[in-house]
Structure 1
Amino acid sequence: MNQSEPAATRRLRPPGLILLLAEARSILEFNASLLLSPLLMRAPKGDGHPVLALPGFLASDLSMAPMRRYLKQLGYDAYAWNMGRNFGDITSRRNALKKLLTDIHEATGRKVSIVGWSLGGVYARDLALQLPDMVRSVITLGSPFAGDVRATNATRLYEALSGETVEDNSELTKAIGGDLPVPTTSIYSRTDGIVNWQTSLLRPSDTAENIEVRLASHIGLGVNAAALWAVADRLAQAEGEFKQFDRSGPFAIAYGPPENAQSDRGPEQARV
């Protein structure tokens, strides 16, 4: 696959049965993050800006509680979405999510970073397109937004529960899969058992990057220690600045190699 494109336009397959069954290892990822909590607290401290955490399909705020707690400990003002369980339907959620983001922005007087897990990341990218002046950065975790977004093991269930097909609103889907006007990071795993990892690839640029977390599961990605470190590191960047992720930290062995960003700036920091 050409890494200059988010994902190939050809049909992709959902992850196979072995990877799907291996999602059970997510409990091990959660336990490992608890054991590694002293190391995780060595991540760069936050500047107090608001961070909105959006859960994945069929998940609730409970799934994002460990991440919100971690971010609060680092000094961020972490917010839940408070909309119950996420049963999908992007179009029906748009107004409520826009109001939520607007309320947080007005209450804090600061731009909001958005961290979205799986489907929550699709919502996050849509919010950044609609209200870019209120969004500081977007970080997605195993989110299927690029190329053949049907290539997941949750597509049929999503369509049954949400009442919409993945092909609905093709223009919106195409926009969400394109470049965003804010700094963007996609964290993914090639061993994701729910989402084909190629649908999580964005086009690298001065202000956009992909971070592979090796051997992570989809269900465990939001509590995976290496993923949590990467989220904290990305959020710690100064507003209006972006630098590619440094993989030399304490979880270096857990990250895949960086891709070649489409930039002529070299290693210097980009201003946005």
Structure 2
Amino acid sequence: MRHAVMKLSLPKPSLFHFLVEGRSLFELGATGLAMPSLRKAPSGDGHPVMVLPGFLASDLSTKVLRSFLKGKGYQSSGWGLGRNLGNHIVGGQQIISDKLINQVLRMSIEHDAPVSLVGWSLGGILAREVARIIPDCVRQVITLGSPFNGPHGASPIAAKIFDLINGDLTKSNAQAMQQMLLAPPVPNSAIYSRSDGVAHWQACINNDDEHQQSENIEVRGSHIGLGHNSQVLWIIANRLAQARNQWLPYQA
């Protein structure tokens, strides 16, 4: 039986790392300088890629990443559902709203191919759950600083805002929280940073010990900068460029 280790007492991100999240602006500038090198990153086969934004963010926040992926030859798009307020996490067996599932189904049908999902923070949690529900329509999942091991590892400020909007899911939907610990039945890569000031890195890594196509990849940088971090962009290009059904773990 598949199982994952639940960590009820995950550490919180350090206050120092939270206070220096503003370094993401420097990371954006560094990525601009690194663009000549990033042009050498692996190109893709043109398959569809949907990028899901983090909590309180919209498609505007993923524009740099999506533009980079288009330059690598992918049919990249945002999720098209406005600001991510966490309202696409619903109760019961399904967990994810039909509206989000239909967005992925529509993209898969339009391109006649399974969709790769790249999810930033909360967007990565949603991407994993979509892949769990419609795995035939999802090629792979890549998460960026996504605390899918539970909200205990998120910064108190972010967790409080989420609870104010959506309620405490650990109490209202404990079954859903347990399910999230298991990796979805598709290739998945969890990208994390030990200096993440919003989600502690231990909350963002796979602990499912029986999934053969699951991996954790460490990078350096802030949480807010993960979507435009040059190291992250290169890794995403590498992961997406793999031939379908020929997934292999990342080699730095």
| Same fold, TM-score > 0.5, yes or no | yes
Q: Distance in 2 between matches of 1:76 and 1:6?
A: 33
Q: Distance in 2 between matches of 1:21 and 1:9?
A: 25
Q: Alignment RMSD, CA only?
A: 1.6
Tell me the secondary structure at the aligned position of residue 251 of structure 2.
Answer: coil
1:134 paired residue number: 137
Q: Distance in 2 between matches of 1:198 and 1:183?
A: 20
Aligned residue pairs total: 241
* Structure 2 residue corresponding to 1:209, chosen from 200, 204, 215: 215
Q: Distance in 2 between matches of 1:166 and 1:223?
A: 31
Flag structure 2 segments of 5+ consecutive residues without an equivalent: none
Q: Distance in 2 between matches of 1:202 and 1:163?
A: 25
**Could you say if the C-alpha distance between residues 230 and 19 of structure 1 is closer, same or farther in structure 2, counting changes exceeding 3 Å?**
same
- 1:168 positional shift: 2.8
How do 1:119-130 and structure 2 match up within 5 A? 119-130=122-133
**Could you say if the C-alpha distance between residues 16 and 6 of structure 1 is closer, same or farther in structure 2, counting changes exceeding 3 Å?**
farther
Flag structure 1 segments of 5+ consecutive residues without an equivalent: 248-272
- 1:149 positional shift: 2.6
**Could you say if the C-alpha distance between residues 107 and 31 of structure 1 is closer, same or farther in structure 2, counting changes exceeding 3 Å?**
same
Is the 1:6–1:201 Cα contact (8 Å) retained in structure 2?
Answer: no
1:185 paired residue number: 189
Q: Distance in 1 between matches of 2:127 and 2:154?
A: 19
1:237 paired residue number: 242
Q: Distance in 2 between matches of 1:6 and 1:22?
A: 32
- 1:34 positional shift: 0.9
Q: Distance in 2 between matches of 1:59 and 1:7?
A: 30
Is the 2:120–2:227 Cα contact (8 Å) retained in structure 1?
Answer: yes
How do 1:77-156 and structure 2 match up within 5 A? 77-89=75-87, 90-91=89-90, 94-146=97-149, 148-153=150-155, 154-156=158-160
Tell me the percent identity: 42
**Could you say if the C-alpha distance between residues 26 and 166 of structure 1 is closer, same or farther in structure 2, counting changes exceeding 3 Å?**
farther
1:159 paired residue number: 163
Give the structure, 1 or 2, with the largest relative contact order (CA under 8 Å, sep 6 or more): 2
Is the 1:193–1:218 Cα contact (8 Å) retained in structure 2?
Answer: yes
Is the 1:6–1:198 Cα contact (8 Å) retained in structure 2?
Answer: no
- The two structures have a TM-score, normalised by structure 1, of 0.85
- 1:167 positional shift: 3.6
Is the 1:155–1:166 Cα contact (8 Å) retained in structure 2?
Answer: no
CA deviations on 1:169-222 (whole Å, 9 max, x unpaired) are 2222222220221000000000000001101110364311000002x1000011
* Structure 2 residue corresponding to 1:218, chosen from 212, 223, 228: 223
- 1:165 positional shift: 3.3
Q: Distance in 2 between matches of 1:139 and 1:234?
A: 8
Q: Distance in 2 between matches of 1:51 and 1:33?
A: 21
Q: Distance in 1 between matches of 2:19 and 2:233?
A: 23
Q: Distance in 2 between matches of 1:127 and 1:66?
A: 24
